[in-house]
Amino acid sequence: NRPMSNDDREKECVYSNSLPNANIEHIKDCVAALIAGLSVMVVEIVGLRDLAPALGNSIEVWSTVIGIVLLSLSIGAWIGGYVADRISEPSLIGIMLFISGTFVLVVSMTSSFISAFAAKNVESLHIAALFTSIVLYAPPVMLLGMVPILAIRKGLSDPGTFGRSVGRISFLSTFGSIVGTFASGYWLLPFVGARASFISVGTALLLFSCLYSRRLFAGTLVILVGAGIINRNWLESEEIVETRYSRLTLRIEKERETGRMVKSLRTDPFVIQSAIYLDDLDQHSKGSSNQQIRDDFLKDGYEPLVLPYTRFFRLSSYFVPNPKTVLMIGGGAFSFPRVFLDEQKNAVMDVVELDPALFEIAKSKFGLTPSDRMKVYSEDARYFLNRNQTKYDVIIVDAFTNAQVIPNHLVSKEAFATIYNALSDNGAVILNCISSFTGETSGLFYSLLSTLKDEFPKVRVFAVKTPEVGYMIQNIILVGLKNSESHALSASARERGLLAHEWHEKSERELSIIKDDLAVTDRYASSLASALKH
């Protein structure tokens, strides 16, 4: 009956860990680490999409959310190590899963309100994104970051297997993150939606926590019933459509100027991306052509294009009379391509739209009828241009990463060189941007102007609202002409009205030319977003 030596104790630990119950417990902890890693990435990626309607999806928002998630994981790991050495509660991992699952369910019910509050009341986009990320995502991610550490500490019984135990848990946690990344991008966001994804992850965490304690089962039942009742009564007043690339808001509202009802599509809270008049849509659904509708309303000054900046795209037929081939980069809800093809009977149009779901939405929600005169390419526009062999009379660039910023790789010096080569001898590129002529929010305009002038011999600029108020943020249309003398001999009344908006001011200001290797356009997102809120 000699006292047990340290070697005997270690052998006893090895023996106890070989028992079936110990093996089941270890497997359970391994699965918990995997689920925790998966959940962290779902919260991060789905969270980015969930913030887009309120804060946009600029690089500032992405950087802030990713940074807060990583910081929360680090803090969670540090706290987890401290707790693991001081608390030996067998169900501790289950408790962390239960609390984190509850937080994720709370996020599903409050994220739209908290992000909208931040967007409305916090002037700086950086601070708004920081506040929202900390409030919504830091608590659950911090708790989930504790789970692998607790699982590692719980499994450290045999010194001879320490390395394998740590490696196994670390692998499963990281592998779970990989699964969560692909699941979010390929399945959850396109087919389930942001809110439902949060609910699914929160529910999974709660249910798995029940394996650790019967008390957690009772708590899970209460939480799920309560969350179900709340979510059932919080119905969306707007139609939300989730695609692989965007979270789209479809809204019906009355236009102030005309009193006509408008259906709009938004990927950003501050700016409408595409819109159509409901009377146009109603007539179209009854089988009338756009020409018939226009004939009926012509005496009343009927205008089929809702957004004023899209009307400036009609200048394409002034700078390139009777265009035959047109490329449009950025289709949105295809409101302009539909009207353009109806007005230019001899033209054909290629539309490059990254998100294939937008073409389907345009057909089902915005009255677009497929035409053999229009081809749609669902791919990145730069990739399309690099492979293109067609010569276009006009190329229209109306693509945005969010409501404020054009993708850098579509307006760089290298991109404009590719566009220049894709144009016919008398061709023109028409570019839409949101900026101002003076002040802090004018940087984007002058960078685009400098870059365009570097490739095209003649550049003309038009202010959609007014060229007289320099500090006003508005849509600005830049036209790059391959032939500086190219334009129609005379302008129609409608074209004269658009030409009257030309910006003639001679400015000495020039900013650096945009290049592929430096994301200049993203610099201006914050100042534009803050200004647009006011």
Which residues span the domain enclosing 138? 6-235
231 and 320 housed in the same domain = no
Whole-angstrom distance, CA of residue 417 vs CA of residue 423? 10
| Final residue belonging to a domain, choices 179, 211, 235 | 235
Whole-angstrom distance, CA of residue 397 vs CA of residue 410? 8
Structure tokens at 413: 């010096």
Q: For residue 261, is it within any domain?
A: no
313 and 186 housed in the same domain = no
Residue with tokens 């019984």: 157
222 and 305 housed in the same domain = no
Query: Residues 246, 194: contact at Cβ < 8 Å?
Result: no
- Return all residues near 500 (Cβ < 8 A) that are at least 6 apart: none
Three-class DSSP category at 303: coil
Q: For residue 289, is it within any domain?
A: no
Query: Residues 382, 411: contact at Cβ < 8 Å?
Result: no
Q: Burial, 493: exposed, middle or buried (Cβ in 10 Å; 0-12, 13-18, 19+)? A: exposed
Structure tokens at 278: 């409901």
381 and 518 housed in the same domain = yes
Structure tokens at 523: 């610099």
Q: For residue 62, is it within any domain?
A: yes
Tell me the C-alpha to C-alpha distance, in Å, between residue 297 and each of 98, 275, 288, 339, 495.
Answer: 61, 19, 13, 15, 20
312 and 229 housed in the same domain = no
Query: Residues 56, 529: contact at Cβ < 8 Å?
Result: yes
Look at the chain and report how many structural domains it folds into: 2
227 and 332 housed in the same domain = no
49 and 154 housed in the same domain = yes
| Final residue belonging to a domain, choices 235, 250, 279 | 235
Three-class DSSP category at 12: helix
Tell me, what CATH number does 19's domain have? 1.20.1250
**In a structure prediction context, what are the per-residue pLDDT tens digits for the chain, which is 534 residues long?**
455 455 554 444 444 444 455 678 888 999 999 999 999 999 999 999 888 877 877 778 899 999 999 999 999 999 999 998 888 888 899 999 999 999 999 998 888 889 888 887 887 888 999 999 999 999 999 999 999 999 998 877 666 667 888 889 999 999 999 999 999 988 888 788 888 899 999 999 999 999 998 888 877 888 887 776 665 555 444 577 777 777 787 888 888 877 888 888 887 666 788 888 887 766 555 544 455 544 444 444 568 899 999 999 999 999 999 999 999 999 988 999 999 998 899 999 999 999 998 999 999 888 888 899 999 999 999 999 999 999 999 999 999 876 567 888 999 999 999 999 999 999 999 999 999 998 888 888 999 999 999 999 999 999 999 888 888 889 999 999 998 776 766 778 888 899 999 998 766 666 778 898 877 777 776 667 666 655
Whole-angstrom distance, CA of residue 64 vs CA of residue 127? 9
Q: For residue 85, is it within any domain?
A: yes
Q: For residue 474, is it within any domain?
A: yes
Whole-angstrom distance, CA of residue 353 vs CA of residue 333? 10
Lay out the sheet containing 261-266: strands in order across. Answer: 239-242, 247-254, 261-266, 274-277
Q: For residue 92, is it within any domain?
A: yes
68 and 205 housed in the same domain = yes
Whole-angstrom distance, CA of residue 283 vs CA of residue 273? 22
Q: What is the pTM of this model?
A: 0.70
| Final residue belonging to a domain, choices 181, 204, 235 | 235
Buried-exposed string 176-191: b where 16+ CB fall within 10 A, e elsewhere: bbebbbebbbeebbee
Tell me, what CATH number does 305's domain have? 3.40.50.150
